[in-house]
Amino acid sequence: MGTPVNRSTLLRAASAAVATAAGVALLAACGGEDSADKDKDTDKAAARTAEPGAAAGSAAPAAAGSFTVTHVGGPTTILEIAGARLLLDPTFDQPKKYKSGLEKTQAPAFGTDRLGKIDAVLLSHDQHDDNLDDTGRKLLKDVPVVLSTPGAHKRLGDHVTGMKSWQTEELKTSRGTIVVTAVPALHGPDGVDRGADGEVTGFVLSGEGVPTTYISGDNASVKVAKQVGDRVKKEIGPIDTAVLFAGAARTPAILDNAPLTLTSKNAALVAKDLDPRRVVAVHTDSWNIYSEDMKSLEKAFQDQGVADKLVGLEPDGTARKLS
């Protein structure tokens, strides 16, 4: 397993013992009073002071063992797992065109004012608008833990932890520990090297009472996903849930329109190879560079005989408890 650097990311203890009306201990997620001042003039203050239940998803952490998923749009998804609320690839802009040529075509299910408390952002990469847009970028400084690539750390600053593949970080929650392992992702077809522009990380969540979860990030390679799956199964155990970034993102500007994320067929092949109990598919909507949608995913999963694994989530902001 190489020599992973183990660092413990202790969520602030200030409010660790605070209990909600439901008697659920909250994570020390959004900072203590020490961070209150800097919030005053940000549009994220509302998000950080949102009442539990005020968010479109549930702002209260999930019960142990349960797994709730809220799809906001594009890759942006909230996972409520093992007592934590984790946000994947924040994008909250309204529809607009970007200098990069990307265009957001659909509004997020809700804005950051209804996001509720977020304990950590898992950011697959920062250099593409559809994985971190302008509003998502502003949000980062108000989240206590941001895990991403070494390049993101360099560009975004010390607030972002840059993780190399197979490095681990521990998120301490009121219910225990979530081990976050950075895993390889290839932002293009097998064999290509996109250099810094293609630097992406996936993540695996594991730990006692934590359903083992693979988050692909912007990965287009079945081979890379399989290598991740093989190692995770060997060293951690079976994968409970795979969150796959599908949609076959394409742009003429890069590799002549080659798929930069999983095609529907390749997502189904990954589902077959990794054999998770279920697949939550995201990254198929809201941006002009996604060339395959949820319908084609459903068909591909049927064709590969894994339709029963697919959890297709509309980007409607509804918190769905997975069974």
Give residues in contact with Zn ion (CB under 5 A).
128, 218
Tell me how far, at minimum, the Cβ of 9 lies from Zn ion, in Å. 24
Give whichever of 169 and 218 is closer to Zn ion, judged by the CB atom: 218
Tell me how far, at minimum, the Cβ of 253 lies from Zn ion, in Å. 12
Closest alpha carbon to 162 in 3, 48, 9:
9
Which residue in the shown chain puts its C-beta closest to Zn ion? Answer: 128
Tell me how far, at minimum, the Cβ of 218 lies from Zn ion, in Å. 4
Give whichever of 74 and 116 is closer to Zn ion, judged by the CB atom: 74
Tell me how far, at minimum, the Cβ of 77 lies from Zn ion, in Å. 15
The C-alpha atoms of residue 241 and residue 300 are separated, in whole angstroms, by 18
Tell me how far, at minimum, the Cβ of 279 lies from Zn ion, in Å. 20
Closest alpha carbon to 166 in 232, 100, 226:
232
Tell me how far, at minimum, the Cβ of 261 lies from Zn ion, in Å. 7
Give whichever of 128 and 265 is closer to Zn ion, judged by the CB atom: 128
Tell me how far, at minimum, the Cβ of 135 lies from Zn ion, in Å. 17
The C-alpha atoms of residue 236 and residue 27 are separated, in whole angstroms, by 25
Give whichever of 11 and 243 is closer to Zn ion, judged by the CB atom: 243
Give whichever of 133 and 240 is closer to Zn ion, judged by the CB atom: 133
Give whichever of 117 and 128 is closer to Zn ion, judged by the CB atom: 128
Give whichever of 128 and 172 is closer to Zn ion, judged by the CB atom: 128
Residue reference for tokens 């293009």: 188
Helix axes 222-235, 264-274, angle to 10 degrees: 20
